């Protein structure tokens, strides 16, 4: 047993203390607290809080500190917002960049509209919940207060689906999305289904009023086509497709994208997904949209065809990691928006930096990869206009970032060799 003083919160939301000369990570402890803890290597488990932080508040979820879904739920709102903003500031500083970061935007809204539950089988019984922090142990939960009301039936449905497949003994993931026409579920990990399993799953979909149930993207039951509203369009979402975690988050990010690109006549939307930005941008500009997810791009175009009064929308399915749009291909555009996965857009950022596009909007879900891509743009002659952190994953260490870069008339691109 050790007595530890918590110095600060780390980028994963864990308290950081010193045990002699060693750094120790203490989940669920807050800065300024003194705790007794069991220490194993660089990890510690709080046994008792001797002196609590003045910023400590009561957590609202009974699963907090057991389920790994929330890392920071006991920190007062103002201190929490500053910590989360600080994740972006620190990532930029670690990349050697100095830039102003705006206050955190709370975009939790009505709650998260998508969630993935894990199912584990024990002696023919399905247990459903989330994984514990830094562990392969699954924590069975009764409810999650962070989800939208439309997902209130998700856990009972997940248990019913998992129990049908419990005899297989396989670990399962069940991805739920709230849509305009009910819950959409994509089952992963089961493999090919037997006929009796398919029939039982169809009955479960009806019993739990699911809009659609898929197995690794393959349709099992379709009772109502799942649609989401994006700007003026209703989008038929592919099974398990990417959406921003909250509707409020999508709207907050999209509003800043639209503001930054106002007046642009041609816009490129890179890593466009189902068109969260493209289907809004195309109300005022001609848009070319690209993403490697074929079904997502097809859904975006289908939605655009069903909406009235839009400017031209073109583009294609394209792997922007392997084949980024070149500086030459970007030449016709007044603005570029890019929203890559967590790994960032190293190759694409390099091509944008070599281009003469006047306005670039970077959207990111990783402070570290954002800082790396931002450094590439700045080295290429862009200046940063604004960086806004957006919180749609409340109580977690995940933060969305919207950053606006501009190239003035006097800011010319460097020679290719300067960018590596």
Task: Label residue 28 left, alpha or beta by phi (over 0 means left) and psi (-120 to 50 means alpha).
Answer: left
Q: H or E segment at 161?
A: helix 154-164
3-class state of residue 390 by DSSP: strand
Question: Are β-strands 138-140 and 125-131 bridged in parallel, bridged antiparallel, or unpaired?
Answer: antiparallel
Are 183 and 150 in contact, with CB atoms under 8 Å apart?
yes
Please tell me what DSSP assigns to residue 193. P
Please tell me what DSSP assigns to residue 156. H
Q: Please report how the helices 346-353 and 367-379 are oriented relative to each other, as an axis angle in degrees rounded to 10.
A: 20
CA distance 248 to 239: 22
CA distance 158 to 130: 12
Write the DSSP assignment of 255-266 as a string of letters.
Answer: HHHHHHTTT-SE
Are 64 and 46 in contact, with CB atoms under 8 Å apart?
no
Q: Which positions are annotated as active-site residues? A: 365
CA distance 397 to 342: 13
Tokens of 176: 């739920």
């Amino acid at each position: 047993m050790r007595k530890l003083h918590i110095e600060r919160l780390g980028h994963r939301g864990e308290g950081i203390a010193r045990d002699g000369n060693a750094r120790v990570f203490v989940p669920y402890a807050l800065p300024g607290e003194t705790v007794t803890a069991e220490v194993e290597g660089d990890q510690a488990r709080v046994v008792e809080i001797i002196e609590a932080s003045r910023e400590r508040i009561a957590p609202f979820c009974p699963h907090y500190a057991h389920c790994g879904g929330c890392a920071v739920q006991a920190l007062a709102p103002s201190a929490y917002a500053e910590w989360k903003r600080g994740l972006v500031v620190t990532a930029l500083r670690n990349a050697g960049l100095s830039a102003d970061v705006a206050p955190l935007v709370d975009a939790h809204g009505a709650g998260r509209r998508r969630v993935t539950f894990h199912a584990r089988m024990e002696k023919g019984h399905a247990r459903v919940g989330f994984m514990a922090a830094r562990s392969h142990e699954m924590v069975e939960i009764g409810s999650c207060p962070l989800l939208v009301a439309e997902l209130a039936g998700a856990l009972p449905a997940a248990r019913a689906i998992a129990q049908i497949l419990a005899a297989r003994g396989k670990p399962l993931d069940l991805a739920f999305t709230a849509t305009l026409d009910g819950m959409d579920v994509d089952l992963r990990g089961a493999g090919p289904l037997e006929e009796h399993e398919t029939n039982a799953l169809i009955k479960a979909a009806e019993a739990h009023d699911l809009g659609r149930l898929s197995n690794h993207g393959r349709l099992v039951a379709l009772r109502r086509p799942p649609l989401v509203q994006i700007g003026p369009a209703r989008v038929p979402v592919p099974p398990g497709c990417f959406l921003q975690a909250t509707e409020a988050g999508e709207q907050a990010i999209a509003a800043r994208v639209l503001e930054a690109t106002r007046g642009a006549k041609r816009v490129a939307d890179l890593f466009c997904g189902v068109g969260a930005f493209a289907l809004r941008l195309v109300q005022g500009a001609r848009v070319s949209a690209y993403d490697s997810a074929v079904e997502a791009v097809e859904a975006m175009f289908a939605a655009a065809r069903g909406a009235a009064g839009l400017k031209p929308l073109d583009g294609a399915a394209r792997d922007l990691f392997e084949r980024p749009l070149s500086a030459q291909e970007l030449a016709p555009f007044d603005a570029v928006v890019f929203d890559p996965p967590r790994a960032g857009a190293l190759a694409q950022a390099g091509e944008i930096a070599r281009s003469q596009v006047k306005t670039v909007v970077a959207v990111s879900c990783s402070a570290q990869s954002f800082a790396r891509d931002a450094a590439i743009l700045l080295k290429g002659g862009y200046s940063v206009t604004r960086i806004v952190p957006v919180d749609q994953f409340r109580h977690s260490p995940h933060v969305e970032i919207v950053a606006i870069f501009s190239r003035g008339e006097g800011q010319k691109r460097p020679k290719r060799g300067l960018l590596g």
